[in-house]
Amino acid sequence: MISSAISSLPTVSSRAISALRGGLTLTVAAGLMLSLSAMSVAAFDTRARAAFVVDQGTGTVLLDKNADLALPPASMSKLMTLYVAFEAIRDGRLSLDERLPVSEHAMSYKGSTMFLNTQDRVRVEDLIRGIIVLSGNDACVVIAEALSPDGTEAGFARYLTRRAKDMGMMNSNFTNSNGWPAAGHRMSVEDLGILAQRLIEDFPEYYPLFNEKVFEFDGRAPSNTRNRNPLLGLGIGADGLKTGHTSEAGYGLVGSAKQDDRRVIFVITGLDSTRARAEEAEAIVNWSFRQFAQKTVAKAGVPVANAEVWRGAEATVGLVPSEDFRILLPALSGRDVAAEVVYTGPIEAPISAGQPLAELVLQPEELPELRLPLVAEKDIPMGGFPVRVRTAAEVLIKRFLTGPEASQ
């Protein structure tokens, strides 16, 4: 079993520790080999111009193709308007039942719309559903003008850009609220992946709206009532988020799917047809779940290694995870995973239980390096008089045998 393999891992070697006595501070790496039955997996060969796939639970990036390239996002950028709208509802600045007016500017948008007019006052909930299901350009502007610092869509776009940077979306710039083609309106697929994850995690109460397949607003547009997400209803766990298309951007999709306890978030863009988008999205979902699996590499509270303690009541302290560590690995059996425990030591007493002390560094084949924190298993108080005498004697002996520079 994986847990038993971890619990029997060797400690840092005594030879490495002996070099640390006398007050030296060095980084110690204990080489480990975890039997996690992993092997390399072929990268997904996508037709998309840019693609980004991440396993939500572990944060493992499964696919990165031009992920940080700023590209026209088309209607996928509506997700940012939705995120800010959800923030406003959460903060009490907007309510789902509130009715908002429609301006001439909002009504002037073409493309996908809710066919709003200036006589309308539309419930916020209907506007949100209209953005998600109908991709309403006009609905975005109504919300934008209501939340804009200066009452204009342009002012709202400037706010979106600042808010995106705050969220770590460094390759995003907004010039409008809905992704209508405009110079400088750009997002990277990685930024869209970050945004999708924030929507799922920050607003779980609203995320089910992204799985709504039909929304018939006031019977105005019978030809525009269905969600364009091609994966909904296929039985592969897909439950959101947003499609996009312009002639400049091509066909794209920000999507997510959940199977059992795993969720995958993916973004593709630059495809040449709705069919290509649907085929590529389904293939990515199937590849993500079939070729990778979560595995537990360490149990909470179970020592992975021991670290040398300096001037403590005990000579070593156990290094343990504060919670179960689960990582994503290729699903098929094969190679072991190289790992090491890294810490700066010896660690000076006193030490408190739960104190961060080290990292478990894993090198899965074909996947990014993982660094998982390890903490002290228990309290280690300062040693008494005998410990201090022994420590001083060790320093003096080391100086005598190797010269004064050994203790520097």
Structure-token pair, residue 318? 């156990």
| Mean pLDDT for the chain overall | 85
Task: Give the SS3 label for residue 70.
Answer: coil
pLDDT surpassing 60 at residue 140: yes
Evaluate whether 12 touches 341 at the Cβ level (below 8 Å). yes
Q: Which of 198, 298, 270, 276 is nearest to 240 (CA)?
A: 198
Dist CA 243 CA 196 (whole Å):
12
Name the amino acid, one letter, at 14: S
Has residue 25 got a pLDDT over 70?
Answer: no
Split at pLDDT 50, 70, 90, the class of 107 is very high
| Predicted confidence band of residue 388 (pLDDT cuts 50, 70, 90) | low
The beta-strand segments (E) located in 247-291 are 250-259, 262-271
Q: What does the domain layout of the chain look like in residue ranges? A: 2-39+296-407, 50-290
For residue 10, what pLDDT is reported? 30
Interatomic CA distance for residues 405 and 403, integer angstroms:
6
The predicted pLDDT at position 40 comes to 44
Residues 6+ apart with CB under 8 A from 301: 320, 321, 377
Is a pLDDT exceeding 80 seen at residue 58?
Answer: yes
Question: Running DSSP on this structure, what letter comes out for residue 359?
Answer: E
Average pLDDT over residues 47-66: 94
Residue 17's identity, in one-letter code, is I
Least confidently predicted of 1-15, 124-138, 366-380, 392-406: 1-15
Instruction: Examine the pLDDT at 313 and tell me if it is beyond 80.
Output: yes
CATH numeric code, 2-39+296-407? 2.60.410.10
Tokens coding 95: 């309510």
Q: Which of 121-130, 155-164, 178-187, 340-349 is predicted with the least confidence, judged by mean pLDDT?
A: 340-349
pLDDT grade for 9, boundaries at 50, 70 and 90: very low
- The pLDDT assigned to 390 comes to 65
Q: Name the most confidently modeled range: 141-155, 304-318, 329-343, 384-398.
A: 141-155
Q: How far is 261 from 233, CA to CA, in rounded Å?
A: 19
pLDDT band per the 50, 70, 90 thresholds, residue 400: low
Give the residue from 149, 226, 397, 129 showing the smallest Cα distance to 140. Answer: 129
Q: Which of 143-147, 318-322, 333-337, 346-350 has the lowest mean pLDDT?
A: 333-337
pLDDT exceeds cutoff 80 at 32: no
Q: Is residue 31's pLDDT more than 50?
A: no
The DSSP output letter for 71 is B
Of the listed ranges 18-22, 171-175, 262-266, 332-336, the least confidently predicted one is: 18-22
Domain at 50-290: CATH code: 3.40.710.10
> Quick check: bond before 321 cis, omega within 30?
no
Residue 408 reports pLDDT greater than 60: no
Question: What percentage of residues in the chain have a pLDDT greater than 70?
Answer: 82
- At 398 the pLDDT is 61
Share of the chain above pLDDT 90, in %: 64
The mean-pLDDT minimum among 43-47, 182-186, 331-335, 378-382 falls in 331-335
Cα gap 45→65, rounded to integer Å = 10
